[in-house]
Amino acid sequence: MIAVWDLGVRLFHWLLVAAVGIAAVTGLFGPLNRLSLHVAAGATIGGLLVFRIVWGFAGTTYARFSSFAFPPSAIAAYVKELQAGRHAVYLGHNPLGSVMVFALLAILALNVTTGVIVLGGVDKQGPLAFAVSYETGTTLRAIHQILAYVLLVMIVGHLTGVVHESFRSKAKPVLAMITGEKPDTSVAITANPARAWPAFAGLALLVLLTGAAYEAIALSSRPALGVPTGSLDSTYVKECGSCHMAYPPSLGTSSRWIALMAGLADHFGEDASLEPKLMSSIRAYLINNSAEKWDTRPSHALAESNPGDPLRLTATPFWSRTHRAIPAAVFRSKAVGAKGACNACHGDAFTGRFDPQKIEIPARALQ
């Protein structure tokens, strides 16, 4: 047996497997309130990519990109050999495997990049929340999801290659990535020996990751683009919050607020009439802070009304779609009280943000 994969390559590989798995499960199948775990997995992938790039220039022989940076002609020749039933044995990555490695690194880098943009634009969180609009975030979200599925397909292809390699040669790729060793054979094609520079790699990683973390924290502290700030108007809260939750004005369009204020005499079956001066003051506050003034997901998503019930927030297509899996009994429970009691499950409902991490259905409501 001969040492091929150093400890850095092996740790990178298995940590990446774990991080990608968590990111995939939480991003494609997990509930919204697992966003923090998804972001942590994405950040881990980003850090691992930085390490792999540095180690690809300063690592041991077969960790170096130069050991498996094959020209197109070599890749094409290798594919022809496979089709003809012949194959050369490579101690490190073979030409076809090298294509997969570089492609995976590129897709992962794009996924991390688009993920940061989506987080900033859609969720108004992270280092780009101050600069990315909701529209840009939603556009990149579609690309981010496509890249995620492309990555899953590539992973299946990678695993297929590993299984094929395991059967056609004495090398056991999975075991080799655990022990770092492969069978020593005289016919294997080897790479030019290279000296590792771990001290340089460590210093470079320290500088790059520390600088990235500092910048991320500094940028994340800036006010998010188009997010309501400050508390709700006290008069509005007193008058409207006495009967139900005082909804942030950003949850409704100006036309919806105008229509609601014009129909207070029959406010969903209740007489909620106000003195003209008071009504005028609240009406102005709602219009001046309506959905059109903000750039959050709720302000955009809730803007579309239900033609059959245009004024009710809980009748909007977005609300109905995102709450369809919740049993009706949860809304009737004492812990929640009604469909419109957003603050029962959304810890930041009064701010108008409705961050996914702040979602928690009361345990009593699920009993």
pLDDT reported for residue 315: 96
pLDDT tens per residue across span 310-337: 999 999 999 999 999 999 999 999 999 9
Kindly state the tokens that stand for 134. 């909701």
What pLDDT sits at residue 30?
A: 80
Answer with the residue of higher pLDDT: 276 or 171.
276
Q: Residues 6 or more apart from 209 whose CB is under 8 A from it? A: 47, 50
83: confidence class by pLDDT, cuts 50, 70, 90: confident
Q: How far is 237 from 239, CA to CA, in rounded Å?
A: 6
Q: Taking CA 65 as the corner, what is the angle to CA 109 and CA 92, rounded to the nearest 5 degrees?
A: 115
Contacts of 12 (CB under 8 A, 6+ apart): 48, 51, 52, 55
What percent of the chain is modeled with pLDDT above 70? 99
Predicted confidence (pLDDT) per residue in 172-190, tens digit: 888 889 999 988 777 788 8
Output 191 or 200, whichever has higher pLDDT. Answer: 200
**For residue 65, which amino acid is it?**
F
Looking at residue 296, its pLDDT comes to 97
pLDDT, one tens digit per residue, over 294-310 is: 999 999 999 999 999 99
Distance of alpha carbon 167 from alpha carbon 162, whole angstroms = 9
HSE-CB for 149 with a 13 A CA cutoff: 5
Q: Are 144 and 113 in contact, with CB atoms under 8 Å apart? A: no
Distance, in Å, from the CA atom of 293 to the CA atom of 295, rounded to the nearest integer, reads 7
pLDDT score of 165? 72
Read out DSSP for 55-79? HHHHS-GGGSGGGS---HHHHHHHH
pTM, two decimals, is 0.92
Q: Structural domains in the chain?
A: 2-220 (1.20.950.20), 234-366 (no CATH)
Which pLDDT tens digit goes with each residue over 224-275? 999 998 899 999 999 999 889 999 999 999 999 999 999 999 999 999 999 9
Q: Residue 139 above 90 pLDDT? A: yes
